[in-house]
Amino acid sequence: MRPIQLPEPPSPKLGTPEIFEGGVYGVVRRAVVIGNGFPGSENQSIGLVRALGLADKHVLYRVTRPKGGMNEWLHWLPVSLHKKLDYIIRQICVLLIYRGRKTLPLPTENGGSAGLKCVLEADVQQIVTMARQTFETDGPILVVASGRDTISVASSIKRLASDTVFVVQIQHPRLHLNRFDLVITPKHDYYPLTREAQKQVPQFIHRWLTPREPPDRHVVLTTGALHQIDATALRNAASAWRDEFATLPKPILVVNIGGPTGNCRYGADLAKQLTTNLHSVLASCGSIRICFSNRTPEKVSNVITKELGDNPKVYIWDGQEPNPHMGHLAWADAFVVTADSVSMISEVCSTGKPAYIMGAERCTWKFSEFHKSLKERGVVRPFTGSENISESWSYPPLNDTAEAASRVHKALAERGWRLRP
């Protein structure tokens, strides 16, 4: 008789090693941020990485352009061509001034050039090699890039290491969106596709407008710009700046002033209008705090400082550290922001506090579409000088960064990957 084989008793469940669950190969534990040296762009990438829980697990690389002299006139060129042209110019100078000396090395497409030695320069081959060599031990890498100069670097990393990276490009890359795993961009970047926009330009220019096609499924549309402001950041800032702001007379009105752009043009005339309006609301304010950005023209800051600098209710930040921006976001009761900066407006509108915009009527093209969308949502109001700042109003805060992070989670899941718990 053959013995009956009884099933083995179930062994205690010790947990399946992560490597057999799709595991380090499918768990994103780290990120690479490709920046361009501009805070407005890099803040978006770092904000997304922070929202994904990788704030302490990312490395920042930068694509930097040569600066100084005629380089300021060459920023319209692709960054790789700009660097090579800068090399040629410097080489000619070396030949003319230091005849017979050793020539300078030719910078690679993503390598640094003279004057950029202190910057951690984005190197495609270095990042690709790291992604391949560490994949089995550390898993895939999330690559997040923002800004025009980062497009070629991010797309090259995707092309050369597609099995080991997930590439997110923030801000519309204009063409060939399939070079990235995900594109995150404001809705107003698609303004050129609207009938209203196409009426504003001659017919023969339509073929040159970008983007040329509506967003597909791997494009995430936001209302404004991504950033690092959320409830936790505001709570931390409120605590850190308590000594500075807790005793100030309320309500506190914070005024953030940027600088004119190609699609939002203004000068001293807007500054004079702004000071007139601020004088009109002084009676309903306990304190007014004014900050200029590094783009604010001197002619604008001079008008405001002259008109308001001696008023005891008004404090004008002198640009010295520490920057009170986070304290302002946490402690302000209301904001006035010039219309030129999508980033500043997006951060302010993430607080849910009253936000007044100055100069939106001077904005054109996609900037006008951005302001229109905010106004329709009840997120902002024009600053006219007739406001009673002590009367508060609110709205559902803009939550673009968290919503974009949720879409990244879904896109990773479709690929069979996930972020570390």
Look at residue 235 and tell me if it is in a domain: yes
Same domain? 406 vs 393: no
Kindly report, residue by residue over 106-124, the tens digit of the pLDDT. 444 444 433 334 346 889 9
Look at residue 340 and tell me if it is in a domain: yes
pLDDT of residue 13: 43
Kindly report, residue by residue over 40-87, the tens digit of the pLDDT. 999 999 999 999 999 999 999 999 876 767 666 666 566 666 666 655
CA–CA distance, 174 with 151 (Å, rounded to integer): 10
CATH number at residue 276: 3.40.50.2000
CA–CA distance, 93 with 104 (Å, rounded to integer): 11
Report whether 366 contacts 187 (CB < 8 A). Answer: no
pLDDT of residue 96: 65
Same domain? 263 vs 219: no
Same domain? 204 vs 293: no
Tell me the one-letter amino acid at 400. D
Same domain? 156 vs 274: no
Same domain? 274 vs 311: yes
Tell me the one-letter amino acid at 350. S
Look at residue 368 and tell me if it is in a domain: yes
CA–CA distance, 409 with 166 (Å, rounded to integer): 11
Same domain? 295 vs 250: yes
Count up the domains in the chain and report the number: 3
Same domain? 393 vs 406: no
Same domain? 250 vs 363: yes
Same domain? 329 vs 407: no
Look at residue 17 and tell me if it is in a domain: no
pLDDT of residue 421: 74
Low-confidence ranges of the chain (pLDDT < 50): 1-22, 101-119
Same domain? 265 vs 346: yes
Look at residue 12 and tell me if it is in a domain: no
pLDDT of residue 311: 97
Give me the half-sphere count of Cα atoms (radius 13 Å) on the Cβ side of residue 33: 24
CA–CA distance, 136 with 170 (Å, rounded to integer): 28
Q: What is the pTM of this model?
A: 0.85
Same domain? 241 vs 344: yes
Report whether 253 contacts 287 (CB < 8 A). Answer: yes
pLDDT of residue 49: 97
pLDDT of residue 113: 39
With 0-12 / 13-18 / 19 or more C-beta atoms within 10 angstroms meaning exposed / middle / buried, residue 380 is buried
pLDDT of residue 304: 98
Look at residue 406 and tell me if it is in a domain: yes
pLDDT of residue 85: 64
Same domain? 48 vs 183: yes
CATH number at residue 177: 3.40.50
Look at residue 14 and tell me if it is in a domain: no
Look at residue 363 and tell me if it is in a domain: yes
Domain containing 411: what range? 24-63+122-223+402-419
